């Protein structure tokens, strides 16, 4: 695949591990995603495939050092879709345990295939809606980190995340130009979270917003 893999290097060098091995495993993931996109169902827009690395994988990897600095070990990714940002983050060694929640069966089949082929033994894929899992004693209140990219608007996402993230934990949301509007539209999130920082992404209108879970 003719992709800008070298663009990942500055960001991979900020985290532990062998960058060459990370890129090789990310290429394996990208190949699986490309094959599934052609043969089964759209995981990302087909028009986006020529810039899969530049737009999707880079946006997942660029804030990896920021997620690592949170110290979170168990992560939950909401609306995992084609695995972005969670699978690239898992591949490069962020966290010790991940739960990926995706409600569409065809996408969970893809996620499970990647988990199996890449040997991501620290990763569980759940086919369900996040709100249905709030009463799961094994998951509710059990995670320290939360990620979500291009799913619900910000306020409702954080209200859902509150049920799963421990006090002192962190949520990282990939948001576009409507971030401030979404924060103002549904202020319920302020009862559970403090905005703890913003990270702009290179050459993109997307920012990653970090929130800290407060004690009630």
pLDDT of the chain, 216 residues: tens digit per residue: 578 899 999 999 999 999 999 999 999 999 999 999 988 878 888 778 888 999 899 999 999 999 999 999 999 999 999 999 999 999 999 999 999 999 999 999 999 999 999 999 999 999 999 989 987 767 889 999 999 997 889 999 999 999 999 999 999 999 988 899 999 999 999 999 999 999 999 888 999 999 999 987
pLDDT, position 47: 79
CATH class of segment(s) 63-213? alpha beta
Judge whether 61 and 5 are in contact, CB under 8 Å.
no
Distance CA 108, CA 105 (A): 5
**Residues 13-68 pLDDT 10s:** 999 999 999 999 999 999 999 999 988 878 888 778 888 999 899 999 999 999 99
Domain positions in the chain are 63-213
In angstroms, the Cα distances linking 34 to 45, 83, 183 are: 11, 12, 34
């Amino acid at each position: 695949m003719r992709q800008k893999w070298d663009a990942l290097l500055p960001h991979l060098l900020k985290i532990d591990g062998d960058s060459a091995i990370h890129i090789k495993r990310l290429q394996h993931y990208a190949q699986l995603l490309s094959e599934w996109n052609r043969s089964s169902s759209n995981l990302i827009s087909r028009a986006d495939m020529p810039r899969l690395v530049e737009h999707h994988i880079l946006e997942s990897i660029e804030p990896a050092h920021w997620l690592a600095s949170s110290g979170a070990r168990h992560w939950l990714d909401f609306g995992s879709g084609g695995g972005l940002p969670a699978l690239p983050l898992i591949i490069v060694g962020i966290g010790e345990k991940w739960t990926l929640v995706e409600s569409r069966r065809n996408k969970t089949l893809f996620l499970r295939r990647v988990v199996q082929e890449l040997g991501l033994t620290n990763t569980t894929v759940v086919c369900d809606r996040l709100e249905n899992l709030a009463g799961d004693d094994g998951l509710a209140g059990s995670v320290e980190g939360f990620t979500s990219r291009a799913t619900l608007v910000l306020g409702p996402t954080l209200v859902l995340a509150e049920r799963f993230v421990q006090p002192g934990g962190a949520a990282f949301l990939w948001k576009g130009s409507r971030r401030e509007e979404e924060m103002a539209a549904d202020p319920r999130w302020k009862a559970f979270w403090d905005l703890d920082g913003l990270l702009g992404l290179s050459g993109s209108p997307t920012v990653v917003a970090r929130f800290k879970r407060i004690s009630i």
